[in-house]
Structure formats: structure tokens, C-alpha cells
Chains A and B, each alone.
Chain A
Amino acid sequence: MDIYIFGQQLVNGLVLGSTYGLIAVGYTMVYGIIGMINFAHGEIYMISAYLTAIFLALLAGFGLHSVPVVLLLVLLCTLFLTALYGWSVERIAYRPLRHSNRLAPLISAIGISLILQNYIRISQGARNQGVPPVLEGVWRIPAQAVEQQFVQITYQQSLIVITALASMALLTWVIHHTALGRACRATQQDRVMANLLGVDTDRIISVVFVMGAAMAAVAGMLVTLNYGSFDFYIGFLMGIKAFTAAVLGGIGSLPGAMLGGVVLGLAESFFAGFVNSDYKDVFAFSLLILFLIFRPSGFLGVPEVEKV
């Protein structure tokens, strides 16, 4: 085993893992608060990729070329509009089904996911879209004296990891240190009781959807800038991978989602580097199946206790 390949796969895994983690947060928070899997979350991520491209083009059209300013503005605009999508999905597809059985919102989620996919396909075209690289440059850490053996970290990759960590930290802080976060935690534990204490739980649920969508928007923007290309179908695979990450970490647990993301990213990346890159998705979903069979509560989840 070459140490530089190991190092490179470690870097790749961390980068991949932090995007998984960002998206997994949306799954885990929604599950924590209303106990459903929001299968339209991957599509929210996909929409944020398109929004990123649109805002990049708009800003370039206005003649704005300073990289930090462009990145910040694109982030803010994408964040806002994606959050609006997240809010609308909850309002239109899930809230009217709040008091029906558990299956109804799930089916509604799959429906919304198809609607969003096809709405983007029709409005933006089915072709692959692309954005020009915004942030170029690499760091190279030589592994040995030999020329070709080095670990390469692009600026873009470091931006992904740093931004992901920062947004996770910010979200965790909001949940634990603000009045809004306190109400979120209370609603997550006992929605009915929170409601009886004067908390407008419908509003809190909306807030959770908005936060989840905002996290997905951060991921969507970072990945789009990194890979440069996307189409209307990227949300599906990314969504399922992030869902896997959420299950691995323990669905319902916020730090679990981040941990699950990183673990899944690393596992996938090492498998691709040392075993076979064609079967990395197979490996990732095998992990999901194994976890669902042997440890459905994941790394940090609490086993579900049947309430009587």
C-alpha cells in the first residue's frame, strides 16, 4: 500500500464525507422532529446546484470578479432561495398530511421529488450543465522523494471541508444556544407537549425544513463549484447517499449525521482507491443494509423504545 495513495484517498474521503454530512443533516433533523424521511431532500440539493450556476452567471454578468465577494453573494442568494424551496415543500406536500398515517407523507415526498426533478428538466433542459472554475489552485504535499508521489489538496477541496465544518458548528450552536433552537429541541422530544406550552410547533417544523434546506444549499454550492458539472438527476444518488450517512450516524442525531457522513465518505473513498472504484456505490449501500440489519440505531442514535 502506497502511503501517498492512502493520503490522497483520505483527503478525497473527507471532502466527500463533509458534503454527505451537510445533506444528511437535513434528513436527520426532519426525521427527528416529525419522524418521516424527506425523500425530496436530494432534489433540494439539486436545485441549489442550479441556483448556484444561475447566480454565478448573473454576478459575472454584472461584472463582479472578486472571488470572495462572488462566493459570499452566491452562497447567500442560493441559501435564501433553496430555503424557500424547502419551506414550500413542507407547506405544500407534508403539512396537510400531518395527521394522516405514516405512509402518506412518504408517498407525497416521493411525488414531490419527481415533480421537482421534472420541473428542472423542463425548465432548464435535460443536458449536463456546467460552471467555470471559480477558485483555482492546489497544495501539494510530497510524500516521498519521488516526483510523482504527492498528496494533492485543491483550494476548492479545502473550501468544502472548512465551510462544511463551519456551517455544522453554526447549526449546532443555533440548536443549543438560541431560544429558537431550544424550541426545536423541545418539539423534537414531545411535539404535543411543546404545542400545549404555547410553542407554535408548525412554525418550528417549518424552521427545521428551512435549516435542512440551507445546509443542502451549502453542500450544493460547494460541490457544484468543485466538480463544475451537474444535471437534473444528481439529487437522487446524492440524496440516497446522504440518507445512508444519516442512518449510519444514527438517524435523528445531529452529530451522528456529521459523523455518518465522514465515515461513509472515507469508506467509499478507500474502497474506490484500494479495491474497485466501479463498485463503490455497491459498497456504500451494502454498508446501509448491514447497518439496518445489525445496528439500525447507527453510531450515535438511541434505540427506539416502543412507547406504551
Chain B
Amino acid sequence: MTPLLTVRGLTIRFGGVTALNQVDFAVQPGSITALIGPNGAGKTTVFNCVTGFYRADGGTIRLHAGQQDEEGLNLLTLLGEPVRWRDCWQPQRLAERLYYQMFGGPHLVNRAGVARTFQNIRLFNELTVMENLLVAQHTQVDAALLSGLLRSRRFLAKEEAALQRATEWLRFFALHGEANRLAGELPYGHQRRLEMARALCTNPRLLCLDEPAAGLNPNETRLLSQLILTLRDQFQVTILLIEHDMGMVMEISDHLVVLDHGEVIARGTPEEIQQNPRVLAAYLGTGAG
């Protein structure tokens, strides 16, 4: 089976620090893949590169969603790579690079089918819960000034459909009673769920969750695990997950990728990872290895 996401040789440097060095992994469609590793291992950096938040310095991130060819879509291209002199020999490549240089950006990565949540929640606090979900459907509504101003039939129909979708996700996350509250007013646990609902409103193939259980109590964590499993099973959303709650990770993940110091040190099923000596060493120090 072709993986949904293939990351090859992903490298990023901040000044003299190589935060990620030749990271390789793949995410199978319909799976729950977890990225784990000690603090500072580069898990969130991987997320930031995959979602277009950072521009990677090297490597490829290919997404195989929709009708692309064998190779899939290189997400790094969408962010606008610098134009090089040797591109002049390939007009098509040059044109593509110039186009993405001008019009590219993280929004194209999202439109290609990747959505994310943040470790520290980033909702639009001054917008209502419903508006938060509607903004996420920006590409699916009619955002032309005139049709909004004149309340065209197309505008109203699309707006209605967006409301419908948003309401479904609110129901799924048990937030439908709070549609008209300001997002910033919600209790913490609800904000976490709202952020997931918002990411899902962009209709992603791949949902990246950055520590979704952070700050939740054991009860809420159990509910969250259930929700994530339902997302995979009923909605065919593939999930890439960063999580420190090992109980939860081992329970729901199909596949694990372990990072340490910006490098992948192990890949495999939860059982394999639990017995991997390098993983134990990374978590507990070299003495244990």
C-alpha cells in the first residue's frame, strides 16, 4: 500500500543547530502513527515542517492524496522554494517555482489535506465557536465581497452547508451547546476539542495532533482516545500524533516513530518499541542501555 505521507531526509537547521537530521518515516493511510521521544527531540519541529509552519532546509515531504501521480505532492514545493539559476534550463520548473514563490504558503499545504492542532491552543479567541469552525472552511464558502454583500443565493447556500458541517463536528465533539460563545471563554478541555473540530473542518486527509492530551485528566484522556479511534474508523482520517502520555500512545497507535536529538532512532509497533533498547536508553539515559 502507498503511504499517505512519506518523509525522506528531512533536515532543518536553526543557526548552527541541526534540529532535524535526515528524518525518514511514512504514515500509512487509515493508521494512527505516533511520534514520541524525549523533550527537545524534534517532534514538534517535524510537525511544523509537515504542516508548512517551517520551511525545511532539505529533504522531501510527499503527500499521496487525491489524483496525484506515483510520486505524490511535495509539500515543500507548495511553500515556495527559492528559484535557482539552473532552473532556467527547465522552463516548466521555473514557472512552477515562481508561481509558488508568489502565491505559495502554508494555506496550500492545508488545502492539500494536512491540518494540525497546537500544543498550546491557538484558537481565534475573539471569534465565536461557530465562527472558528467557519473560518476553517474558508475555501469552501463563497468569500467574494459582492456575493457576501448582496447575499447571493450561492453565498447563502454555501454558508448554510458550512454551518451544517460545523454543527456536525460540534456534535461529534459534544460542543453543540456552545456554538455562540466566544472561543476564549470556553474551559480548557473544551478548547482542546474545539481546536480538533476546527482542524477537521478543513476536511483533512492527515490530521496532526500535537499533544492532544496535555493538561487533560485521566478521564478526559480516555474519552479523547475514543474520539481519535472513532475519527480513524468512521471518518477515515489518518492521524499523526505527538503525545507524552505513554499509556494512551501504546493503546491507540498502530505505528510508532521514536525521535531523539533530531534523528529517528526506532520505528515499529507499540510492542516492538517497548522492547527496543535504544528507546529505553533515550528515555532513561545511557546507563539503562
A residues lining the B interface (CB < 8 Å):
170, 174, 177-183, 185-186, 189-190, 192-202, 207
The smallest beta-carbon distance between B66 and chain A, in angstroms, is 15
The answer to whether A193 and B124 touch (CB under 8 A), given A174-B148, A198-B111, is: yes
Chain A residue numbers with a CB within 8 Å of B159 are: 179
**Inter-chain contact B138/A198, CB cutoff 8 Å:** yes
**Inter-chain contact A195/B145, CB cutoff 8 Å:** no
B139 at the interface (CB under 8 A from A): yes
Please, could you name 21 A-B residue pairs with CB atoms under 8 Å apart, sorted by A? A170-B149, A178-B143, A179-B138, A179-B143, A179-B159, A180-B145, A182-B138, A183-B138, A186-B127, A189-B124, A189-B126, A189-B127, A195-B106, A196-B52, A196-B116, A197-B110, A198-B136, A198-B202, A199-B107, A199-B138, A200-B107
Distance between Cα atoms of A53 and B145 in the complex (Å): 28
The smallest beta-carbon distance between A99 and chain B, in angstroms, is 11
**Inter-chain contact A196/B106, CB cutoff 8 Å:** yes
- Specify which of A178, A189, A196 lies most central, judged by the most chain B CB atoms within 10 Å of its CB: A196
Nearest neighbor of B131 in chain A, beta-carbon distance: A182
B180 at the interface (CB under 8 A from A): no
Distance between Cα atoms of A190 and B125 in the complex (Å): 9
Interface size on B, residues (CB 8 A): 38
The smallest beta-carbon distance between A301 and chain B, in angstroms, is 13
**Inter-chain contact B110/A185, CB cutoff 8 Å:** no
The answer to whether A177 and B124 touch (CB under 8 A), given A196-B116, A198-B107, A202-B105, is: no
B198 at the interface (CB under 8 A from A): yes
Nearest neighbor of B184 in chain A, beta-carbon distance: A189
B209 at the interface (CB under 8 A from A): no
Distance between Cα atoms of A198 and B137 in the complex (Å): 8
Distance between Cα atoms of A194 and B143 in the complex (Å): 14
**Inter-chain contact A179/B142, CB cutoff 8 Å:** yes
Chain A residue numbers with a CB within 8 Å of B53 are: 192, 196
Chain A residue numbers with a CB within 8 Å of B118 are: 193
Distance between Cα atoms of A199 and B125 in the complex (Å): 17
Chain B residue numbers with a CB within 8 Å of A207 are: 145
Chain B residue numbers with a CB within 8 Å of A180 are: 143-145, 148
The smallest beta-carbon distance between A13 and chain B, in angstroms, is 31
Distance between Cα atoms of A201 and B106 in the complex (Å): 10
Distance between Cα atoms of A207 and B145 in the complex (Å): 9
Chain A residue numbers with a CB within 8 Å of B77 are: none
**Inter-chain contact A174/B135, CB cutoff 8 Å:** no
The answer to whether A196 and B126 touch (CB under 8 A), given A174-B149, A182-B131, is: no
Distance between Cα atoms of A231 and B138 in the complex (Å): 43
Chain B residue numbers with a CB within 8 Å of A189 are: 124-127
Distance between Cα atoms of A100 and B226 in the complex (Å): 44
Distance between Cα atoms of A242 and B109 in the complex (Å): 39
The smallest beta-carbon distance between B76 and chain A, in angstroms, is 16
B122 at the interface (CB under 8 A from A): yes
Chain A residue numbers with a CB within 8 Å of B125 are: 189
The smallest beta-carbon distance between A89 and chain B, in angstroms, is 17
Other than the given A174-B148, A180-B148, A186-B131, 12 more pairs (CB < 8 A) read: A170-B149, A179-B143, A179-B158, A180-B144, A186-B132, A189-B127, A195-B105, A195-B110, A196-B109, A196-B116, A197-B107, A199-B138
Chain B residue numbers with a CB within 8 Å of A182 are: 127, 131, 134-135, 138
Distance between Cα atoms of A202 and B80 in the complex (Å): 14
